[in-house]
Structure 1
Amino acid sequence: MHNLIGETVTEDQISDRTAHVPWWAWANALSLDSVTVGLVWLLVLTGSFCDRLPSLYEFAIIGLSIWLVYTADRLFDSIRLDTERRHSIRHHFHFRYRRPLCLGWFLALGLDTALVVSSATDAQLRWGCAAIAVVVAYVASVQFPRNSARWLPKELLAGLVFAFGVSLIAWSELTPGDFRPLLISVLMAAFVFTANCLTIAMLERDLDRIQAFDSWVLRAPGTVGVLPGALILHALIAAVLVVIETIPPGMVFCLIASDAMLLALAVAGSRSLATQSMDGTGAASIGRLVALADVALVIPPVVFWVTGSVVESLSGFAVG
């Protein structure tokens, strides 16, 4: 039998993997990879449009909010998980530990609410309420009712909601001249986040089919073939936007670098999927490429900020 990246595994290994989360999969199982993606892009958008770093309470509020949304979505998925058939390690984790995760969810909600009430500005509260409404609408559209048709694929909805969430500080401090650049930047980021979700859906399409989970890839299989070209086109558009000075250069660097990394991952994933075979026997499948999907969105902002900090330090040293 083969796993998501084409490795041959035995039934004993599958049984062990069902009970054990490897070290490199913990971030994905706990939704901490999504939180990390959100926080590094919060840095990019806030730095680009507010000319400052997010405060500690802003980091905490956004990070907790992302964790709450992702954990709630996965807990809902675990309710209808068929453990007798193959499923992802993160869904298995949320099914197996749903009670402590529910307790942790309510504790995190209380802490997040306390931070919002005690620290958020009036403008942030207004934009935060809009974000809550958008998130509730997203979760409801994805989870209830289950088999209804929706106008937009859930991966696209997730990308739009995520981009709006990580740009909340920028929206709350918006100046009239920044509206167009910020809107375009958010939409461009939403594409990258959507491509990330679509890449994961491609890598897990057999698991989604076995579990009867909704997926853009299952609804429109041709999407997989379009993704590489769409990523290349998006990178070219981003390059044009920086040349005509429409969006900040740092934002463009992160977008193009993310496009390149997701493109490499999509190509590698499509090749491994072409050779894999997967049955429906119950076990938790661990795909290393899935764990790399969010890493592809973390590295570009980190490289951008580290490079910028080094350059600034060297400039200060030279002036001194």
Structure 2
Amino acid sequence: MQFLFKFYQRITWLSIDVVLGAMAGMLFFSRALRVELDWQEYALLGMAVWCIYTTDHLMDARKLTFHHRKGRHHFHLIYRKPLLVVLGIVGSLGLVWAIVFFGFSRELFFGAGLGVLILVIMLAVRKFGAEQVRLKELSSAVFYVIGISWLPWYEMPEIDYTWTALGLTILYMGLAYLNLIMLSCLDTESDKEAGFVSIATKIPQERLLTNIRNLSISLILCSFLGLLLVNSFYRIYPGLLVIMLLVHFLCFFKTNLSAEQVRMRMEVAFLVPAILLLI
């Protein structure tokens, strides 16, 4: 059992769980927006997400010293050189594959532009993080959902645009934001030790926990209300959001779980939309 835990821990440190969660999220939006995507588009999304997250972790790891002997950032510090090599290979292959698959089309330029914008924002957050700390998690959540949903939105005919689809997108952004501030809260001590700035290092713990509880309940209620109000075609999508939100809420406020166990369960929650493959 300990071996399985350590294996999964390495998977999370390499952001493989985030990649799978992003691909499941794209599936969520492709089904909700009634768009058929090729498997290559899911693979390219996964490669882009891995490159962005790995770049982010490597940039964070540069602030550490070898005295920090635990966690994801220490892993990226120790294996910095091989990860940079793999990052270069995956990034180059992804770019060439995207050009071959999309051609020099608007999809290619929009996707590449979005990736560059996310990297620029990552750098800006590091430069002005202390002054704009509350925007870090919010901007990350917004761009994460834009990243996994823009292609289904782009390929969907305008005639199919609905307020329901927009509402699902906003709720998914709320879920992503909740996930990030929960993770920030779990990492408060290690972030302070390493000198990282986050919403949890700037807002008092008691106040932040209250905000997390209120946001969780609000999102659960909104998703449950959507489950009751939308037509039968859309009903499964707010239902999936309810499940994902409940997993976050119950795991985060369950006191007998370690921070690492809570983190793993919350990341697994983003795989819930993969159920749509069976329907």
Q: Structure 1 length as normaliser, TM-score?
A: 0.77
Distance 2:128 2:68 in 1: 19
In the superposition, relative to structure 1, how do residues 179 and 141 fare at CA in structure 2: closer, same or farther (>3 Å)? farther
Aligned amino acid, residue 15 of structure 2? S
Distance 2:254 2:125 in 1: 28
Q: CA deviation at 1:155?
A: 1.6
Q: CA deviation at 1:220?
A: 1.5
Distance 1:38 1:107 in 2: 21
Q: Secondary structure at the match of 2:33?
A: helix
Match of 1:92 in 2: 74
Counting matched residue pairs gives 270
Distance 2:227 2:6 in 1: 41
Match of 2:34 in 1: 50
Match of 2:136 in 1: 154
Match of 1:302 in 2: 274
Q: Secondary structure at the match of 1:80?
A: coil
Over aligned residues, Cα RMSD in angstroms? 2.3
Match of 2:108 in 1: 125
**Greater RCO (CA < 8 Å, at least 6 residues apart):** 1
Equivalent runs, 1:59-78 vs 2, <5 Å: 59-78=42-61
Distance 2:257 2:235 in 1: 35
Distance 1:223 1:248 in 2: 33
TM-superposition CA deviations, 1:192-238 (whole Å, max 9, x none): 11111112111111111111111111211312222122112112112
TM-superposition CA deviations, 1:277-318 (whole Å, max 9, x none): xxxxxxxxx8232222201221x2133443x2xxxxxxxxxx
Q: Secondary structure at the match of 1:22?
A: helix
In the superposition, relative to structure 1, how do residues 228 and 148 fare at CA in structure 2: closer, same or farther (>3 Å)? closer
Distance 1:196 1:138 in 2: 19
Match for residue 203 of structure 1 among 172, 176, 186: 186
TM-superposition CA deviations, 1:34-69 (whole Å, max 9, x none): 1011011111111111343x3121011100000000
Distance 2:91 2:191 in 1: 29
Distance 1:133 1:174 in 2: 24
Larger Rg: 1
What runs of 5+ residues in structure 1 fail to find an aligned partner? Answer: 1-20, 274-285, 309-320
Does 1:227 find its partner at 2:200?
Answer: no
Q: CA deviation at 1:171?
A: 2.1
In the superposition, relative to structure 1, how do residues 288 and 272 fare at CA in structure 2: closer, same or farther (>3 Å)? closer
In the superposition, relative to structure 1, how do residues 235 and 288 fare at CA in structure 2: closer, same or farther (>3 Å)? closer
TM-superposition CA deviations, 1:70-118 (whole Å, max 9, x none): 00000000101133246x4211110000000000001011111011101
TM-superposition CA deviations, 1:154-206 (whole Å, max 9, x none): 22221111101110221221322416443322221111111111121111111
Distance 2:229 2:26 in 1: 24
Match of 2:234 in 1: 248
- Identical columns (%): 18
Q: Structure 2 length as normaliser, TM-score?
A: 0.88
Match for residue 267 of structure 1 among 243, 250, 253: 253
Match of 1:291 in 2: 264
What runs of 5+ residues in structure 2 fail to find an aligned partner? Answer: none
| Comparing 56-65 and 226-235, the one that deviates more | 226-235
Distance 2:266 2:125 in 1: 21
Question: Are the equivalent residues in 2 in contact too, given 1:71–1:105 (CA < 8 A)?
Answer: yes
In the superposition, relative to structure 1, how do residues 169 and 148 fare at CA in structure 2: closer, same or farther (>3 Å)? same
Distance 1:51 1:290 in 2: 31
Question: Are the equivalent residues in 1 in contact too, given 2:252–2:262 (CA < 8 A)?
Answer: no
Does 1:166 find its partner at 2:148?
Answer: yes
Match for residue 212 of structure 1 among 195, 203, 220: 195
Question: Are the equivalent residues in 1 in contact too, given 2:133–2:199 (CA < 8 A)?
Answer: no
Does 1:108 find its partner at 2:81?
Answer: no
Q: CA deviation at 1:268?
A: 1.9
Aligned amino acid, residue 301 of structure 1? P
Distance 2:221 2:157 in 1: 28
